[in-house]
Amino acid sequence: MSAHRFSTHRFVPQGPLTGRIRVPGDKSISHRALMFASLAIGETLIDGLLEGEDVHATARAMQQMGARIEKDEAGRWRVHGVGVGGLLEPAVPLEMGNSGTSTRLLMGLLASHGFQASFTGDASLSARPMARVIAPLSQMGASFTARGGDRLPILMEGAHPAVPITYRLPVASAQVKSAVLLAALNTPGITTVIEPVPTRDHTERMLSAFGVDVTIGEDNTEDGDGARTIAIHGPCDMTPCTLTVPGDPSSAAFFAVAALLVPGSDLVIENVGLNPTRDGIFRVLRAMGGSIEELECREVGGEPVADLRVRHSALKGVEVDSAIAPSMIDEFPVLFVAAALAEGRTVTSGLEELRVKESDRLATMAAALSAVGAGVEERADGLVIEGSAGRPLAGGGPVATRLDHRIAMSMAVAGLASTDGVAIDDAAPIATSFPGFLKLLARAAQ
């Protein structure tokens, strides 16, 4: 792996955010679109695919295993799949870059194929634990050799045939759920995942679009407490289709918070995916007093979509129910920025998962916000933030982003709502999920 070159950047107060913008396609859906299209026999057309580094890592991996993936002159992606069970053993390690989603989903996908595959990644990804995925996939028959037991690089020996299992998620995780369901596609018999807390359901929705019979129900056993069950009877056949990827709500969240915080802002963010398992950030911002209006509500590719009109608002601190965390787990860093300028105290809890993202997002955001003048208390499972009641943050920096794209973009928003601007130590990781972020932010704030 080559040494990372840091790219410092300073974000300063600008004018109000106005006009209409469109954020890139949803990253979670883009990953799945490429993987599932590679498993269908025939050609799938994909519009709106996110073209960040993380999604490119998925595309390269699927190409290494036999899928043909190309972009046509109209900007659509054409994927010629090889069928479930038709993937080829990769001749070289699958380089995942910074993409935890690519890694965990591909580990699941390949766990039921009878060949070896090795996974490598950058320094940030290589520090992230993979035990939550390794545990159920090992029960299905796959074996793993990993640095430190659960860190990249990882060598996986897939099982063929794999063993169907019933797996109850010990913690809410859409990636773990999806890894098991993807392994089930090439596993004879019924594999069931039980999730006590609902998580992102993009996998279930998209598998159905590709012709897979996904059975959704409730666990009504004595200890089931009505938990959600998702079952797949493998092996499955997948049929090609035409997909449109809605705008990424995680990307939209940065602009929504910026518009709420910068006086005079009145911004429309077009084509935002509002899957109920992903829209928690907008619900919480509304509860804080944020003016976020849904326009032109519609359905795109099986996913609910709307244009969001966001206007500057006086926010109030709230206690965020931990039950909403799975629907906005990636958006907490930018929520912390909104809380830093709200009136009163915002309390978050149940966020232990943020300790093992691209960085320890609780510690990193606590340090970053404290460095630019916010009042922050770090707890084991969340942050408590004393808001400024709308007064700009002092600013400063450069703050450490720990190679984490969401930390970098969140502190960029903090810079817009500061007196002296906020410098971050590295803007380069933003390209992993939002390549055009800097240009779009500058355009919206003209």
**CA-based Rg of the chain, rounded to a whole angstrom?**
21
DSSP per residue, 312-347: ----B--B--GGGGGGSGGGHHHHHHHHHTSBSEEE
CA angle 264, 270, 272 (to 5 degrees): 110
Identify whether the C-beta of residue 165 lies closer than 8 Å to the C-beta of residue 143: no
Helix H or strand E segment including 20:
strand 18-22
Q: Which residue numbers belong to the known binding site for 3-phosphoshikimate?
A: 27-28, 32, 173, 175, 330, 357
Cα separations in angstroms, 315 against 155, 285, 286, 339, 345: 48, 8, 9, 8, 11
Q: Please give the Cα distance from 262 to 14 (Å, whole number).
A: 8
Active site residues: 330
In sequence order, the 6+-apart residues with CB closer than 8 A to the CB of 138 are: 144
Q: Please give the Cα distance from 370 to 362 (Å, whole number).
A: 12
DSSP per residue, 134-189: HHHHHHTT-EEEEETTTEEEEEEE--SS----EEE-SS--HHHHHHHHHHHTTSSE
Q: Which residue numbers belong to the known binding site for phosphoenolpyruvate?
A: 27, 100, 128, 175, 361, 406
